[in-house]
Structure 1
Amino acid sequence: MEGLTKSFGSQNIWRDVTLTLPAGEVSALLGPSGTGKSVFLKTLIGLLHPEQGSVIIDGTDITKCSAKELYEIRKLFGVLFQDGALFGSMSLYDNIAFPLREHTKKKENEIREIVMEKIDLVGLAGAEDKLPGEISGGMRKRAGLARALVLDPQIILCDEPDSGLDPVRTAYISQLLIDINAQIDATILIVTHNINIARTIPDNIGMLFRKELVMFGPREQLLTSEQPVVKQFLSGDRFGPIGMSEEKDEAVAAAEAAMQAAGISGGGTKDDFSEIIPQVQPNPGMPERKAVARHRARVMEMLHTLPPNAQEAIRRSMEEEDRLRAEAHAHAQETVAVGAGAVAAGGRGGDEWTSAEAPGGDYDANAFDGNEYTGSDAPTQNWSAPQADNAATEPIHTGDYAPPHDGRGR
């Protein structure tokens, strides 16, 4: 996206938004209500047309392409709208099957197999014959996600996937997005207000505020940022630049500053955001996420530009993530060994499982083989790193981390 500006009449929504979503990574877009995050998603798929700027997908600028080209480009997308956007007169099954019937020539038995797999994936087995009006908002949201995934899209846009869901279902949906990224290396953009999702799911985070993109880059950069608007949003505190209306009145800001100085609470969480919570990992048996090495290489390139406290927090988070990945790898190997022993005992003539046959065989057993990742294909443009006068310049040592092997020699 380059120089995007969008307005409705005289009301400017956002202006000059420029960023690149790294291919194959999970990104999140934050911002107060009413800052145009949903409008941004609709602009990315050509439902809304910007006054200025470009949206370039796979080399095609969708703001200038023909309707036929746009129709083809949209096949790359899976979109989960904020309200589900289901057809009210169709059953959940037919809603989820709709993209397959529209864009493929699959037979009905093939469609049924795919649809039922996605229905089971989002926990709606048994509800496929119900109409959208007969189920809860959370169930409609999960049906919308199943429809978004039914074509195994390369790009997945999720507009507040947690709205209408309880915390447990939110955790399952978040884990599902990470697993999908591991399986098909999909590029995912999540619009959310859920700070727990923002801290644990994406590789990259952006924030819209007062009609502009405040920041976009690796999650570690935003989570350790000292920008007042970022810190206030993450903590959920009423004291700061964000008000009930987008532009906080000066008198209100002064009164709140006085209350804060007097020790009165602004109602926000007091969590220590200098500690970066480890990112959610794919479930055991899933492939290693290819995005991990690309993301790590980019963070290491910019690490010396960040303040010392941010550098230390990032180093600690990397060490913890390496430990968790090593544990997951060991668990997967143990599962394979147990499965092989059980089958051998059951009479396979003593034949050993191969890594391809064994339970969990999709898991990359060479993920930590020490192969070096070059990072040559990782996009690095449009990453905004705050400059710090006191940024450390010494070389950064990260211990024995060995990036995952992606199977193509990198």
Structure 2
Amino acid sequence: MTKSFGSQNIWRDVSLTLPAGEVNALLGPSGTGKSVFLKTLIGLLHPEQGSVIIDGTDITQCSAKELYEIRKLFGVLFQDGALFGSMSLYDNIAFPLREHTKKKEDEIRRIVMDKVELVGLAGAEDKLPGEISGGMRKRAGLARALVLDPEIILCDEPDSGLDPVRTAYISQLLIDINAEIDATILIVTHNINIARTIPDNIGMLFRKELVMFGPREVLLTSEQPVVKQFLAGDRFGPIGMSEEKDEAVAAAEAAMQAAGISGGGTKDDFSEIIPQVQPNPDMPVRQASIRHRQNVLNIINDLPPNAQAAIRASIAEEDRRAMESPETSATLVAMANHQFDYPAGHGFQAYDGATEQISTAGMATAVIDAPTQVVETPTEEIVVTEEITAVTDEGQASSRE
């Protein structure tokens, strides 16, 4: 798609497919058109070129009646909540049910109060939007987006206006919803912690183009300067205060960076893929995780060596946590026990039993003592007698009790 406002081009030739039932995130500096992208997906804005195809229907070409029906598939959390100022929170949340269903008021009340409690607003349902904080309005907007149990959920910066603890609860809620109803979710965010721990897939907009879109493991291990800078939150890199950083500023910052001056970014190790948030233990198995792992295994041989190493370590860690902890979510246990369809030449083998064999081919590899393992095809053999054995790049084994 391509979208402009008058002579101002917002983005051009943006093409992607949101995998059904998976959680996705869209990143990018402020002003790159992320919110415009969301509004285009639901037909509030129309692209100058391109199509938006939902369940086989191009909403840029369909009738108003068809668009009205398709929008029933969506739940949308707008950036500012977008609540009706003259309605109470209860009536705001009940609005989609009254508009799109023929449910009776007692049933509507049961659904609304369930969502109110879900987002932590019990006791505030009779207040007007102007009487509560921005964070509470955001949570009310999320409750309204969820009342129809939508198949597709769009969230425009769900963390804005929320403290870190409430942000963590909202993030967990989105993962639980995905596990429960297998909804397709797209989150627009600037929050790097959300980007690293919530989505199955991540995309990034920059300078009017989609830098990349695909499995989270690919973007999180990317060597592209713009991606690395954004994830690190550093001022040294292609992104400037204005989107187009001029050459003089770039040269001055490069000199400062060479001199050891900090750009203010985090020093986190982004070569490591930290664990993804899992559904609460009482939730169903999150099918998206199983589908996502298979997708990653299908493309792993096409990825750079650093991404392959990070993915293998991440898979091993996920399976270790699944087998070691009785509190582990059903999703992780299912993933550890799932018989994945490994492509030829994939570099992985599944082993049963407590004694595993592993490769020492140029990367540190954790070997996990578990009923079913995903480990690298052996070039050297090491019998695991400790809880975990780490193999260094030199092929030496070191054990951690």
| TM-score category of the 2 structures, normalised to the smaller one | 0.7 to 0.9
CA RMSD of aligned residues (A): 2.0
- Equivalent position of 1:41 in the other structure: 38
- Equivalent position of 1:383 in the other structure: none
Q: In the alignment, is residue 309 of structure 1 matched against residue 306 of structure 2?
A: yes
Distance 2:131 2:202 in 1: 36
Among 82, 86, 92, the residue aligned to 1:85: 82
Query: Which one-letter code corresponds to 1:231 in the other structure?
Result: K
Among 138, 145, 148, the residue aligned to 2:145: 148
- Equivalent position of 1:367 in the other structure: 334
Distance 1:175 1:167 in 2: 12
Does structure 2 retain, via aligned residues, the 8 Å contact 1:285–1:332?
no
Among 312, 327, 348, the residue aligned to 1:396: 348
- Equivalent position of 1:108 in the other structure: 105
Change (3 A) 1:326 1:104: farther
Q: TM-score, normalised by structure 2?
A: 0.85
Q: TM-score, normalised by structure 1?
A: 0.83
Tell me whether 152-161 or 314-323 shows the greater mean CA deviation. Answer: 314-323
Query: Which one-letter code corresponds to 1:331 in the other structure?
Result: E
Distance 1:71 1:394 in 2: 45
Deviations 1:36-92 (A, max 9, x none): 000000000000000000000000000000000000000000000000000000000
Matches within 5 A, 1:238-387: 238-327=235-324, 330-331=326-327, 367=334, 370=337, 372=339
Q: Which gives a bigger RCO, structure 1 or 2 (Cα 8 Å, sep 6+)?
A: 1
Query: Which one-letter code corresponds to 2:100 in the other structure?
Result: H
* Structure 1: 5+ residue stretches without partners: 334-362, 376-392, 403-410
Distance 2:88 2:101 in 1: 20
Question: How far 1:322 moved relative to its partner?
Answer: 1.9
Q: In the alignment, is residue 229 of structure 1 matched against residue 239 of structure 2?
A: no
Distance 1:261 1:366 in 2: 46
Change (3 A) 1:398 1:36: farther
- Give the count of matched residue pairs: 353
Which stretches of structure 1, 4 residues or more, deviate above 4 A after TM superposition?
A: 363-366, 368-371
Query: Which one-letter code corresponds to 1:305 in the other structure?
Result: D
Change (3 A) 1:401 1:27: farther
Distance 1:370 1:260 in 2: 47
What is the percent sequence identity of the aligned residues? 83
- Equivalent position of 1:28 in the other structure: 25
Distance 2:299 2:19 in 1: 16
Q: In the alignment, is residue 185 of structure 1 matched against residue 182 of structure 2?
A: yes
Change (3 A) 1:301 1:373: closer
Deviations 1:307-345 (A, max 9, x none): 2222111111111122233456x3379xxxxxxxxxxxx
Deviations 1:156-212 (A, max 9, x none): 000000000000000000000000000000000000000000000000000000000
Change (3 A) 1:371 1:36: closer
Does structure 2 retain, via aligned residues, the 8 Å contact 1:315–1:398?
no
* Structure 2: 5+ residue stretches without partners: 352-371, 375-401
Change (3 A) 1:374 1:73: farther
- Equivalent position of 1:207 in the other structure: 204
- Equivalent position of 1:379 in the other structure: none
Does structure 2 retain, via aligned residues, the 8 Å contact 1:141–1:164?
yes
Report the secondary structure of 1:331's partner residue.
coil
Change (3 A) 1:398 1:202: farther
